Chains A and B, each alone.
Chain A
Amino acid sequence: MLTKRIIPCFDVLDGRVVKHVGFLENRRDAGDPVALAERYCAEGADELVLLDISASEDGRLATQRVVAAVAERVNIPFTVGGGVSTVDDVRALLLAGADKVSMNTGAVRNPQLIKEAAHRFGEQCVVVAIDAKLNESMAQYEVMIKGGKVSTGMEVIQWAKRAAELGAGEILLTSFRQDGTRAGFDVTLTRLVAEAVRVPVIASGGAGRKEHFYEVLTEGKADAALAASVFHFAETSVGQVKAYLRQKGVPVR
C-alpha cells in the first residue's frame, strides 16, 4: 500500500540553512544543509525539499553547489525550488541533482512554464507550490506570490486544478496563515485541494506536534506533510512522527 510521506523542508540562503518564524521576519540559522539532509535521511524522511531564498546570483550559485552536495549524499527523492521562472532554471536545478523542481511565482506569472517543464523533463519532476491565504471578505482562499507578499486575486482551488491540467505532477500547498505558527496545518484548505485534483498534494505550514500530521493526512486527505522548524530544532523527529502515525493506523514507511 502506498504510504503517507513525511517531508522535512529547509530554506537555504547563500548556502546555509535558515528558518523564518512567519513568512517574512525573524530568521534563525539552522546549520549546514548537507549535515541536516543526512540527519533527516537517517531518521526516515521520505523525501527532502530545499527552497533557495537567496536574492543574488552568487547566492544562487552557492545553492546549486549545496544541491549537488546534498544530492550526492541522500538516497531519497529531493525537491528544490525558489526563484524558478524559466525552463532553463528547471534544467539547471535538475542538472545540479534535484529530482523534482518546485515553482511558485514563476508558474503564476507564466503558467506555460508548467507545461513546458512537464513536456521537457516529465510531469514527475514538476511540483507547483501554492501559497494560500484566506481572504475573509471574499470567503475564499487566494494565491499569494513573492513569498506571501503579493496577493494575486486568484482562487486557490481553480489554480491547483489548472496547474495539474498543465502538467504539475504534485501540488505543494502552503497555508500562509498557519506557516511558522506551529498551530497545526490548515486541514480544511488541504482537503478542498486534495479532493479537487488527481495529483498528490503535500500539505505545508503549521506543523507543531505529531497530532497535526495525523489530522492533515487523514481528515485533510493530504498525500504527504511537510514541515521545517519543528524538525530543525529537534522538537519532534521524523521518526517520532512516523511511529505515532503507525500506531494510529496510518500507513508509513
Chain B
Amino acid sequence: MIVVLDPGIGNLSSVRSGFARAGEETVVVARGEQWTALAGRGDVCGVVLPGVGAFGDAMFQLRASGLLPVVREVVREGRPLLGICLGMQLLFGVSEEHGMHVGLGVIPGKVVRFGQGVKVPHMGWNDLTVVRPHPLTEGVRRGDYVYFVHSYYAVMQAEEHLLAAATYGRYTVPAVVAKGAVCGTQFHPEKSGPVGERILRNFIAMCHAWQAQEGEKSGV
C-alpha cells in the first residue's frame, strides 16, 4: 500500500486512480498523527508527494499539517518517495515562486520561472531524453511522451541527480530526478498514458523491493 500525502491543497483523485490502474492501493494521509499510526504497519511500502498550487503554500501546509517530519523520516529511512509536479519541486532547496521559499532541500538546486520566448505554463505532451538509468525509468525510452503542466522548473546543481529531461524552447527541463529512493517527476505520470503507467509500475516495484528488504531485516 502506498501513502499519498495530502497537505490539503490539491486534488488527489487522479493520482489515486493512476495507482489503482497500476495495481496498487493507496491511502491518504493528511496529518502527521495519521502517519504515526500507519508507518509501523508492514504494508506501507512507499510515499507519494503530489501537489498543485504554489510552492510557498505547499511548504506552509506541510508544516502546519505535521507532514514535514513525515517526509524527513521517509527520506532518512530510504523508503521510496515520489514527488509529482510541485511535489518534485519541493524536493529542491529553494523556489522563486512568489518570493523566495525554502524547500525540503533533498536534491540540490532551485526552482525558477520560465522566462521570455516560451508560452507559460509549459503545458502538453513533451518527449523525454533519458540520461541516466534508474529503476524508476526502466523501460522508458528516448522520445517517449509524457504530460507536463508547470510554470516553474528546476535548475539543478548536481547533474548526477538528473534521470531524464525534456526540451522546451531554449530550456532544458529536468523531467525525472532522483537521489537514491527519493524520486520526482515534473510531469504527471498518472496523466501520461502508457509511459506514465510504466513509471508508476516501476515506482510500485521499487516500493515492494524496499518492503521485502525491510521484511528480511526485521526477520533476521
**Which A positions have Cβ atoms within 8 angstroms of B?**
1-3, 5, 41, 46, 68, 71-73, 75-77, 94-97, 99, 121-125, 169-170, 198-200, 223-224, 253
Contacts and interface: CB of A to CB of B under 8 A. Distances in A.
Interface of B: 11, 13-14, 17-18, 20-21, 52-54, 119-127, 145, 147, 149-151, 167-168, 188, 190-194, 196-197
- 7 pairs of A and B residues whose beta carbons are closest in the complex: A124-B149, A253-B145, A122-B52, A253-B125, A94-B11, A3-B125, A97-B13
A224 B124 contact: yes
B170 to A, nearest CB: 12
A71 B147 CA distance: 16
A200 B168 CA distance: 14
B1 to A, nearest CB: 19
Contact of A124 (B52, B127, B167): B52
A198 B191 contact: no
A5 B52 contact: no
Contacts of B145: 3, 253
Nearest to B116: A198
A198 B149 CA distance: 14
Given A95-B13, A124-B52, A5 B124 contact: yes
A75 B20 CA distance: 11
A7 B10 CA distance: 24
A252 to B, nearest CB: 8
5 contacts: A3-B145, A5-B124, A75-B193, A223-B119, A253-B145
A99 B125 CA distance: 15
Nearest to B126: A2
Contacts of B120: 198-199
Q: Is the interface of B mostly helix, strand, loop or mixed?
A: mixed
Contacts of A95: 11, 13
Contact of B168 (A2, A77, A121, A123): A2
A5 B14 contact: no
Contacts of B150: 124
B20 to A, nearest CB: 7
A170 B149 CA distance: 11
Contacts of A73: 21
Contacts of B20: 72
Contact of B17 (A71, A121, A200, A253): A71
Nearest to B196: A75
Contact of B192 (A75, A96, A170): A75
B190 A75 contact: yes
Nearest to A97: B13
B18 A3 contact: no
Contact of B119 (A5, A68, A94, A199): A199
Contacts of B194: 75
A245 B151 CA distance: 27
Contacts of B13: 68, 71, 95-97
A198 B120 CA distance: 6
A14 to B, nearest CB: 23
Given A97-B17, A122-B52, A76 B124 contact: no
A122 B54 CA distance: 7
